[in-house]
Structure 1
């Protein structure tokens, strides 16, 4: 059967989030991350539904009361109790393809905590737990291959954009060669062209250079990407090399891509041990009629918003403060997984 990987701008039923466990990695700054997630929900429900996985009944009751107090319509929000490890729905959430009849299928890839760096067993089971709760309106199919949603970008027309540092990392699928990975992606996702980036990395990133921290399709002809304009910054050589790679890439028709550079925010460091944090504007989220953009309290925030407004002239641009999110080495897009049209069952509270 032939499948088609959907681009992020495909019409969506909803958005998936995973709420932090009270005793998890976010414990010391739980109120801060919850405030960010609340902002994401409040911005999203104007356009589509939100499904949230929560770790226990007490958290569900508390979170539901919060959104009731905000006045979120009940039909826009579904909370499901299921065991979780962390909050990064982009990487443990399902990847949606359409089959040859145009019907959605959720691919449930294996999630190992970015190559075994962190506990992930419960998050790896979350897509099936949501199925058991009756959330999905379409079938799911398990895949043994290790693959995270943040590792791949598509134009929706058979082209995949990704990084060698992640998909070819021996901590993911050591038994698969490059050709094996390409063949598996072609079979599962219907892609027949893969654009591999050999360069690009953000300090503080645990994902081994997920593409959604570096370069993103905005439409089939446009790629927004991180540009470092400070030659004294440690990131400069690799990101300059990545820019040259992007400039050399060609669309299927032979034309170069329209490239939109995103600004370089000032360096952010962890207040406890001083290590560099992975602040990036490439970690934006496309939903129905809007784009949520990470902000860091930096003068570059406005430059990033203006750049993405040029890429998405028909969308509302909504900044989401993410200075707290990067403390755990992800950002806005990493917290979310879009759920394309036809994936969500009828509303249930």
Structure 2
């Protein structure tokens, strides 16, 4: 294996990066609700680790200081940094932090608004701007000119990376890159020796071209938890069943099948304005120090989904966070956060 390593999400974290929803962005009349979700995430995380909360302007800074959940914290572990941004999806705009020779290297891939769908000029510069401000602590910045989002990859900490063909090699990013070139890129950047490619699986309403963090996640080096659908009448049933079959055929670097755990699917949630179905699911959970933030949708499937996560992470508190405000903009808890791993000697 390479000396370079992308730690899995359950490795000890120094901080979690969040971005405060800004006025004048895409949130419209959902801004207050989105800010409430961001505040709930920050409040839960600040009990366990530092939170780097990015604000776009003075109005955002004022609303952070005035929010009841954040005012109660006294900002002891809350580090507010003012940097221009386009949207809150830190998983895709923040750094992918690898460990090399005992030090952190913050990889800054290009971000182009998920294949040019949305304005992304500020977000493409976010990682570098935060590094220049000293927000991450010790570590070197490495700019990468390929386009890659954090939500498109999952690693198990034992040489394996899980991703989707539709996003990395069959989508709108990185024209003319083929599987061999993509595999080489991933191995070089993250120190992995096994890349698992999924051809199936999608959530209706997803505009990321099939980010893996909405579909299947490593919960341990040998365990994958994935989004299922047990209703044959649901449009998700066929693609998610095909994805489950692909997952069952995977083998790790030791030629061993993974332990697979299925998550239920919430009932359809539709956009209140135009009625289109939103990409609601439970795979978009967030692992942090001592806890897992779990999506909640005021749905009967919430409780069994959270019980499954509790079984997978018995030493972490499962904290439900109402994600309906975020799903209106086609994102979730994991999409809205990026962990900054601790330097190994400090973990």
TM over 0.5: yes
Aligned counterpart, 2:65: 64
Q: TM-score, normalised by structure 1?
A: 0.95
Show structure 1 runs of 4+ deviating over 6 A: none
Q: Does 1:161 align with 2:162?
A: yes
Structure 1: how far apart are the matches of 2:132 and 2:157?
A: 29
Q: Deviations over 1:293-339 (max 9, x none)?
A: 00000000001001111111111000000011110001111011111
Per the alignment, residue 346 of structure 1 pairs with none
Q: SS where residue 84 of structure 1 aligns?
A: coil
Residues 320-339 of structure 1 mapped to structure 2, 5 A cutoff: 320-339=321-340
Secondary structure of 2:76 counterpart: helix
How far the C-alpha of 1:67 sits from its partner, in A, is 5.9
Q: Could you say which residue in structure 1 is the equivalent of 2:133? A: 133
Q: Distance in 1 between matches of 2:58 and 2:17?
A: 18
Moved more, 203-212 or 174-183: 174-183
Where does residue 283 of structure 2 map in the other structure?
282
| Partner Cα separation in structure 2 for residue 32 and residue 253 of structure 1 | 46
Judge conservation of contact 2:83–2:129 (CA < 8 Å) in 1.
yes
Task: Note the alpha carbon deviations across 1:230-281, whole angstroms, 9 max, x for none.
Answer: 0011111110000001111122222221111000110111111110000010
Q: How does 1:1-349 map to 2 (within 5 A)?
A: 2-66=3-67, 70-99=71-100, 101-136=101-136, 137-342=138-343
Supply the distance in 1 between the matched residues of 2:171 and 2:52 (Cα, whole angstroms).
33
Consecutive unaligned residues in structure 1, runs of 5 or more: 344-349
Cα deviation, residue 2, structure 1: 3.6
Cα contact 2:64–2:70 (8 A) shared by 1: no
Q: Secondary structure at the match of 2:304?
A: helix
TM-score, normalised with respect to structure 2: 0.96
Alpha-carbon distance, 1:132 to partner: 1.9
- Residue range with higher mean Cα deviation, 176-185 or 55-64: 55-64
CA distance in 2, matches of 1:30, 1:68: 16
> Which consecutive residues of structure 2, in runs of 5 or more, have no partner in the other structure?
none
Counterpart-to-counterpart distance in 2, 1:62 and 1:325: 18
Matches of 1:216 and 1:74 in 2, distance apart? 32
User: What is the CA-CA distance between 1:163 and the residue it aligns to?
Assistant: 0.4
Following TM superposition, by how much is the alpha carbon of 1:85 offset from its aligned partner in structure 2, in angstroms? 0.4
- What displacement does 1:34 show? 0.3
2:197 is paired with a residue of what secondary structure? strand
Instruction: Report the secondary structure of 2:39's partner residue.
Output: helix
Residue aligned with 1:324, SS: helix
Measured in 1, the distance between the counterparts of 2:267 and 2:75 equals 40
